[in-house]
Structure 1
Amino acid sequence: MNECLLENASRRDFLRKSTLAGGGLVLGFYLNVADSAAKRVAKPSTISESSVFKPNAFIHIAPTGKVTLISKQPEIGQGIKTSLPMVIAEELEVNWLDVQIVQGDLDPIYGSQSAGGSRSTPTNYQEFHKLGATARTMLILAAAELLRVPAAELIAKDSAVHHPASGKQLSYGQLVEKAVTIPVPAPESVKLKDPKDYKLLGTRIGGVDNPGVVTGKPLFGIDVQLPGMLYATYQKCPAFGGKAVSANLDKIKALPGVKHVFIVEGGTSLKGLLPGVAIVADSTWAAFTARKQLEVIWDEGPAAVQSWAGFTAKAKELSEQAGGEVLRNDGDAKQALDDADKTVEAAYSYPFISHASIEPQNCTAWFKDGGIEIWAPTQNPEAGQKIVTETLGIPKEKITLHITRSGGGFGRRLIPDYIVESAAIAKQIGVPVKLTWTREDDLQHDQFRAGGFHFLKGGLDDKGKLIAWHNHFVTFAHKVVKDGKDTLELGSGANLSGDEFPGRWVENCLLEQTPLECNIPMGPWRAPRSNVLAWVFHSFIDELAHAAGRDPLAFRLEILGDKGFIPGTGQQGIPYDVNRMKHVLQHVAEKADWGKKTFPRGQGQGIAFHFSHLGYIAQVAEVTVSKDGKLKVDRVVVSTDIGAQIVNLSGAENQVQGSVIDGLGALMFQELNIEKGRIVQSNFGDYPMIRIADAPTRVDVHFLKTDYPVTGLGEPALPPLAPAVCNAIFAATGVRVRQLPLLRTDLSWS
C-alpha cells in the first residue's frame, strides 16, 4: 500500500478542492503537494465530457445534486466498489439514491489500487471516513454563510443541510457554488460521526453493479469493444517455460479471418511474457478455430521431466533427511517427543490447484503514437503497467490502464502475464486487439496454488496436554539467479512462517522447511498459505485431541492459553490476540451447540479456527457421511471478528458464505496432475467444481462487533472450513483425511 493513504496528514495535502468548468465540488486525497490534476488526467468513460470531470478526487457533487464517488480499488466480486463508497456516503450524509459510483482508472493520484490480501477495507476505511466528513463540514460551512446562521445550528442529512430552528434547508446542489470557496478545514477540526448514528453502514446494500450483471451489461474485461478491433489468441508451450522453435505460420495466415500470426520470443519469467505464438483474427471464433490447426515445434526445457508422482517420491525422501531450514526451534522438540507419554505422527499432502475464475484471462490493448491504452480485469493495475514498461520499453507516463470489473480473481489477477501478452501483440500490429484465453489456457497456464507435504509429530504428556510439535514441511521453489548464483526461491504461497499457529504456543516446537525445485508457476490463491496450512495444522491438532481422549474444543482452548496479546517474531511477524480468538471459538461453539448434541454413527461435528489477513474466524461443520462414503455438509456455523464495524451486511454475508462454498469445493474436488512438466487436466470436464447439490444445506454467519480496527473479509473465512469438515468426517466415521482432495480418501464405513 502506498504511503499516501496511511501517512500522517502533516506529510501531505490531506484534501484539495477544485471548481469544475461545468460546476461542482470535487474533493479527494492527493499523493503529495506536488501532485496536481494537470499532471495526469484519466477520465472514466461513464462520466460525460460535458461535465469536464477530472477524477483527481473521490467526490464530485454537481449543481444538480448528483453525487459521484470514485471507486479506486478493482472490483473482483468482493463488493469493494459498493462498500468503500458507502463509507464516504455515510459521513457525507448523502442519500444513497443520489449517488453514482464510477470505477477509477489507474492513476497515482489515488494511491495504491491493488486488490489482494483483504487489504482494501483496512487500508482505506479511516481515510474515507475523513474524506466524507470533511466534505460534509464544508457544505455545512457554506450553508452557514448563505443562511447567515452559526454552523453549530446546522445539521446535514439526506443530501441537504438543515436549520432546524427556522425549518430552512439547502440541498447539496444548491450549496456547490458556495462550497468551492470554503477553505478546506484542517483534518483535526473535522468531527467524524459516532458509529451509533450510522444510517448506511451495517445495513444491506445491493452491489452497485448488480443490475448490470444480471442483465448482461458490458462490465467485464471480456466485454470490451473498440472500433476496428481485432481478436487474438496466444499459444504457449504445454510444458512450463518452453519456447517455440518453429510453427506452420504460412498455413495459419491463409486461414479465413486470420490477419496476423507470429512467434513472440518472450522471456523466462513464469510471471511475465512467456514465449509463444500469437494468432490475430477478425473474430475470437476465427482465432480459436485457426489455433486448432497450429503446429508448433517446442523446445520444452527442463520442466518436461517433472511430474507430481516424482515430486511426491522426492518429498518423502527429503522428509527423512536432516538439513531443512529451521524456521522455529523453541525448547527441545526432539527430546520432548522422546519423553512424551504419547506421540502421534502423520503425513499430510495437498496438490496444485487452479483459480478457475469464471471469466478467463483477457486484456484489450491499443498501441498508438508510442503509447499504449489498456483495458484489463486486473487486481493489480500497477503491476500491469510496470511489466509493460519493463518488457516492452513503453514509458509509464505513456500507458493508460482502464480497470474493468473482473469475473472473479481469487489472487490470479494479481499476476499481469495476460496483460503483457496483450500489450506485446498490440505493439506489433498497431490496432486495438483483444486477447482472450481459452478455458484450457486458463487452467493449464495459471499461477497455481502450490502443492505441499507436511510430516508432523506431536507429543502429549500424561495429562493429555500438547508438549511437543515438529513439522517438516517440503514445499516448492523455482531456481533463480541472484548475485550470479543459482538459488531456490520459494513459490508464492509456498512458504511457512515460524509464527504460524501453534508455533508460538507450544513450549517445544521445531518447524523445518525444505524446498523442492520445480518449474510450475505459483501465485497467491484465496487466503494464500492459510488456505492449506489451516487444514494441516487444525486437522493434526484434532488428531492429537482424540489421541489424548480430550474434547477438541477444550484441547484447543488449552493450547491458546491465557497469553493475551502475543507479538510477532522476525521481520514478517504478525501479532496475535489470543483473547479475540478464544472469543470467536467459544462463540461458534455456543451457536453450534457444541457438545450438547448426540449424533448417530455417520454424523458428526468438527471444529476449527484460524487467524489470517487480520481476521479471527472459527467454524463448526456438521456432516452426514453415508455408509458408501458420500458426504453431505449439513451446516456450517461461522463466527467472525473483523473489528468494530461491518460496512455492508449483505456484502459481508456474501463473502463468508462464498468462502465456505469455495473452500468446500477446493477440499472436495480440486486437484491438478502434472506429467512431463504440463498440466494433465484441461477443462471443467476433468477439473470438477462444486455444484449446488454439494453445497452446505445451511451456512449460519455471526459477526462479533469488537473494539478493534475494521479489517477485510474476502479471505479469512475460507481457511477454517476444510479442517472443520474433515474433523467432522472423523467424528462421524473414524476416517481421518490426510490427503486432498477428499475424493482421494475412501470415506465409507460399516
Structure 2
Amino acid sequence: MGLIPTFTPSRRAILAGGGAGGLVLAFSLAGRNAAAQEAGKLNAFVQIAPDGWVTIVSKNPEIGQGIKTSLPMLIAEELDVDWARVRTVQADNDPEAYGRQFAGGSMATPLHWDQLRQVGAAGRAMLISAAAADWGAPADELSTEPGVVVHAASGRRADYGSLAAKAATMPAPALDSVPLKDASQYRIIGKPTPQVDVDAIVTGQPLFGIDMRLPGMLYATYEKAPVFGARVASADLAAAKAVKGVRDAFVLEGGEEFDGLAPGVAVVADSWWQARKGREALKVKWADHPTASQSSAGYAARAQALAGGAPGKTLRQDGDVAAGLAASAKTVEAEYFYPFLSHATLEPQNCTAHFHDGKMEIWAPTQLPEPGRQIVAKTLGLKPEDVIVHMTRIGGGFGRRLMNDYMVEAAAIAHRTGAPVKLVWTREDDMRHDFYRPAGFHFLRGGVSADGKIAAWADHFVTFGQGEETARSAGMAPTEFPARFVDNYRLDVSMMPLGVPTGPLRAPGSNAIAFVVQSFIDELAHAAGADPVAFRLQLLGDRGLVGEPGRGGYDAGRMAAVLRLVAEKSGWDQKPSEPRRGKGVAFHYSHLGYFAEVAEVAVGADGAVRVEKVWVAADVGRQIINPLGALNQIEGSVIDGISEMSGQITIAGGAVEQGNFDTFPLLRIDAAPVIETHFIKSDNPPTGLGEPALPPVVPAVANAIFAATGKRIRKLPLDPTQLAAS
C-alpha cells in the first residue's frame, strides 16, 4: 500500500488561491473561541477549481460517524453546487487554521449547523458578485443553479469554475449577514448520501492509521506492566535483540499520567511480526505498585460497606424522602451494578511517527489531535509548533481515542530510533491498557403512592474517585432524570479509590445510568400495577422544559412525544403471545437528543437472550443532515448497547483479566436485531446522533427480559444461567 494522501494547503495558498485560477474561501466562524477571534484565524474553507470541481476540507476527525460527509454537505448546500462534483478531503491538525478540531460529545452538528451553512452562502454571494461585475447587472437580479450563476433577464449563465478567479477578488460578506435557504429549497441536506470514503473502504484503500506506510519505515511494539502504572524494575533485552529482524530494544522510563507515556520496553524491527516476536523474548521484571492490591471483588465488597454507612456527600435533596417512603403504599429496594467495559475498537491503537529536521511528524487516528500534539511536545521537550499531526481515518473511537497515550509512545520510540516508526498495539494491549467505562453500584429505594405515582426516590451511588473528584466519566449529575420530576428525591454518592484508568465510552455516563434509572422505573411501575408506558407518561406529566435550555435542561414534552411514538410504532398494546417472549420500554435524554426505545426479546430455555427487534423514536431537532448517516448511527448505537450487556472487564491483582474477543464478546451479525427508526422533526436546532440512541436500549432489553421471564436484571453482564427455565 502507498502513502495515505493528505491535504495541507499553506496559509499563503489559502490567501492567494485566486491567483492559481481558483477560488479559496476562508472565513472566521462565529462559534470559535475568543482567542481565535482576536487572532483572526481561519477554520473552514472551500476551493473551487477552474474546471468547476469543488474541494471542501473536513476539519474534524472521522471516526465512522460520517462527519467527513455531513459537514461538507452543509457548505455544499448553501454554496449551491452539484454534490457529484464535490471532493472532500481530511484536514491535518491545524488550530491556527481551523480552531478546535475534535470528535466527541455528538457536538459536530450543534457547533457547525449555522456556521458552515453561512460559509457556503458567503461563497455563493461572492460568485454572484463576480458575475454581476462581469455582466454589469445588479447582484440582486442574479440567482444560482447547482454550480452556475444565472441572470434570467438576459439569459446569461456562467459556471462557477469560470468565475472562481474573479470571485476570489471580491470582498467576503460577514457570515451573519448572508441569507440562508429555506429547508424547502434543500437539494443536498436531508437527502440520503453514502459516506464519501465508502468506495475506498470496501476496496481496501489506505485510509486508516493502521494502513500508514513511509519509506524506510520500521515497526514497533511496546510492552507495559500488567498492573497499571508499574515501572520497569529490570529488563534483560539480549534475547529480544537476538530475534531476526529486530533493530533495537530499549526501556522508556515514562511517567505517572495514564494518558501520557507509560513506563515500558520498546522493540523495533523490520516487520511488525518480528517486533512482536522480539517482545515475546523480553525478560522484564516490574516494580511493585499499590494498584496490585485492587480487584473487582474488592471493589464490590467496599461498595457494600460504603452503602451501609453514611454517604460521602449528597448531590441533590428535594423534599423529604424518608417521609415519602413511609407514606408510600408500596416500596421497592434494589441494588444495581454495571461493570467496567473496554472500548474494543476494531482497529487497535496505532500511530506512525518520524523525527526529522528537528520536527516530530505524526500520523495518528486520534479524536483529539491538538492535545496529542501538546503532550508529545511536553514529553519530548519539543516546541508545540515542531510537532506536526496528520489525522487519519479512525477504525472506531467510541471515546477511546480522546486519549493519546499511543501517540506519545510512538513519538517517544521514533525520537529514540531516528527512522520512521509505526507502533501497532496487539488486541491484548488494546483490551488490557484501555480507559475503561467505569463500573458503578447503585443502592436504590423507591415508593409508589396509592394512586400509582412515584412518592419517593433515593439513590446511594457508590463510584470511584478521590476527595471531591470522581474518576474520569464516573460521576452522575444532580439533574439526572428523574430528579426534578419526583418531589421527594435524594442522590447520595460515596467514592472509593481506583488505580485503573477510566474514560468516556460512547454516551459516557448515560450508557450506564439509563440502565439503572429506567430499570428501576419499571420496577416501580410493576409495584404500582401500572403499564410501563403509561407510568412513564404520568411521571413526565404535562411539563414543558424543566431547567435551562441546553444539556442541563429537560424537555418533558419532547420526551413524551417520542415515547408515544415508539409505543405506537411497536404495537406496545399487543403483547407477544409466545412463552418467554416479551417487550420492554425505556427512554433517555443525552447529548441534546430525546430517544425512546422498545425492545422485543426471546429467552430460550437455557437462558440465552435473543433481541428480535428494536423500535427507536428520536427527536434531534428540525433537520437530519444525512438520513442515511443518521440511520447508520442509530443502528450502530443500538447494536453497541446490546453488545455491552454481555461484556465486562474484571480486575485481579491490579490487572485486567480479559485480553481478546474470546473473553470480551461483541455481538455477532447473526444476532443483531431488526431495527426500525422513526424521527420527530421538532422545531428545535439540529443536534448530534453519534451517542444518544445507545442508552435506552440497555434498559429496554432488560425490561423486556423481565416481561418474558419475570426475572429482573439488576446486574450486568447478562448471566444466562440466572434466566434458564426452572
| TM bracket, shorter-chain basis | over 0.9
Aligned equivalent of 2:543? 563
2:610 is the alignment partner of 1:610: no
Aligned equivalent of 2:6? none
Partners of 1:488 and 1:517 within 8 A in 2: no
2:119 is the alignment partner of 1:131: yes
1:32 to 11, 29, 37: 37
Partners of 1:221 and 1:375 within 8 A in 2: yes
1:61 to 44, 48, 73: 48
Aligned equivalent of 2:57? 70
CA deviation digits over 1:503-555, x for unaligned, max 9?
11110111011111111110100000000100110000000000110011111
Distance in structure 1 (CA, Å) of the matches to 2:532 and 2:370: 45
SS of equivalent to 2:334: strand
Aligned equivalent of 2:518? 538
Task: Give how far 1:630 is off.
Answer: 2.2
2:76 is the alignment partner of 1:89: yes
Partners of 2:18 and 2:164 within 8 A in 1: no
Task: Give how far 1:57 is off.
Answer: 4.3
Task: Give how far 1:563 is off.
Answer: 2.4
CA deviation digits over 1:3-35, x for unaligned, max 9?
xxxxxxxxxxxxx96434422111123433644
Partners of 1:138 and 1:182 within 8 A in 2: yes
Distance in structure 2 (CA, Å) of the matches to 1:682 and 1:180: 56
Aligned equivalent of 2:314? 326
Task: Map 1:529-678 onto structure 2 (within 5 A).
Answer: 529-568=509-548, 574-597=552-575, 599-667=577-645, 669-678=646-655
Aligned equivalent of 1:413? 401
Distance in structure 1 (CA, Å) of the matches to 2:362 and 2:490: 49
Aligned equivalent of 1:9? none
Task: Map 1:447-486 onto structure 2 (within 5 A).
Answer: 447-477=435-465
Task: Map 1:232-631 onto structure 2 (within 5 A).
Answer: 232-477=220-465, 487=467, 489-568=469-548, 574-597=552-575, 599-631=577-609
Aligned equivalent of 2:683? 707
Aligned length: 705
Partners of 2:311 and 2:460 within 8 A in 1: no
Distance in structure 2 (CA, Å) of the matches to 1:300 and 1:129: 56
Distance in structure 2 (CA, Å) of the matches to 1:247 and 1:597: 63
Partners of 1:379 and 1:414 within 8 A in 2: yes
Aligned equivalent of 2:704? 728
- Unaligned segments of structure 1, at least 5 residues: 1-15, 38-55, 480-486
Distance in structure 2 (CA, Å) of the matches to 1:593 and 1:336: 35
Partners of 1:366 and 1:433 within 8 A in 2: yes
Q: Report the more deviating stretch, 423-432 or 400-409.
A: 423-432
Distance in structure 2 (CA, Å) of the matches to 1:516 and 1:386: 31
- The percentage of aligned residue pairs carrying the same residue is 53
Distance in structure 1 (CA, Å) of the matches to 2:102 and 2:451: 49
Matched residue type, 1:695:
A
Partners of 2:606 and 2:720 within 8 A in 1: no
CA deviation digits over 1:635-669, x for unaligned, max 9?
111011001110001100000011011110111x2
Aligned equivalent of 1:687? 664
2:187 is the alignment partner of 1:182: no
Aligned equivalent of 2:9? none
Matched residue type, 1:448:
Y
Task: Give how far 1:253 is off.
Answer: 1.6
Aligned equivalent of 2:21? 23
Distance in structure 2 (CA, Å) of the matches to 1:391 and 1:326: 39
Cα RMSD (Å): 1.6
TM-score w.r.t. the length of structure 1 is 0.92
Task: Give how far 1:603 is off.
Answer: 1.5
SS of equivalent to 1:524: coil
Distance in structure 2 (CA, Å) of the matches to 1:301 and 1:583: 53
Task: Give how far 1:390 is off.
Answer: 2.2
1:202 to 178, 190, 199: 190
SS of equivalent to 1:502: coil
Matched residue type, 1:503:
A
Task: Give how far 1:189 is off.
Answer: 3.3
Partners of 1:17 and 1:184 within 8 A in 2: no
Matched residue type, 2:594:
Y
Aligned equivalent of 1:47? none
Partners of 2:705 and 2:712 within 8 A in 1: yes
CA deviation digits over 1:200-244, x for unaligned, max 9?
111111111101100000100011111111111100000111111
Task: Give how far 1:162 is off.
Answer: 1.6
Task: Map 1:110-121 onto structure 2 (within 5 A).
Answer: 110-121=98-109
Matched residue type, 1:587:
L
Task: Give how far 1:722 is off.
Answer: 0.5
Task: Give how far 1:739 is off.
Answer: 0.7
Matched residue type, 1:640:
A
Q: Report the more deviating stretch, 183-192 or 698-707.
A: 183-192
Distance in structure 1 (CA, Å) of the matches to 2:716 and 2:372: 33
SS of equivalent to 1:101: strand
Q: Report the more deviating stretch, 320-329 or 130-139.
A: 320-329
Distance in structure 2 (CA, Å) of the matches to 1:548 and 1:516: 35
Distance in structure 2 (CA, Å) of the matches to 1:331 and 1:745: 41
Partners of 1:29 and 1:110 within 8 A in 2: no
Matched residue type, 2:503:
G
TM-score w.r.t. the length of structure 2 is 0.95
- Unaligned segments of structure 2, at least 5 residues: 1-13, 29-35
Matched residue type, 1:446:
D
1:165 to 143, 153, 157: 153
Matched residue type, 1:542:
D
Distance in structure 1 (CA, Å) of the matches to 2:586 and 2:179: 41
| Distance of aligned partners of 1:403 and 1:188 in 2 relative to their CA distance in 1, 3 Å threshold | closer
Task: Give how far 1:627 is off.
Answer: 2.6
Distance in structure 2 (CA, Å) of the matches to 1:513 and 1:157: 59
Task: Give how far 1:633 is off.
Answer: 1.4
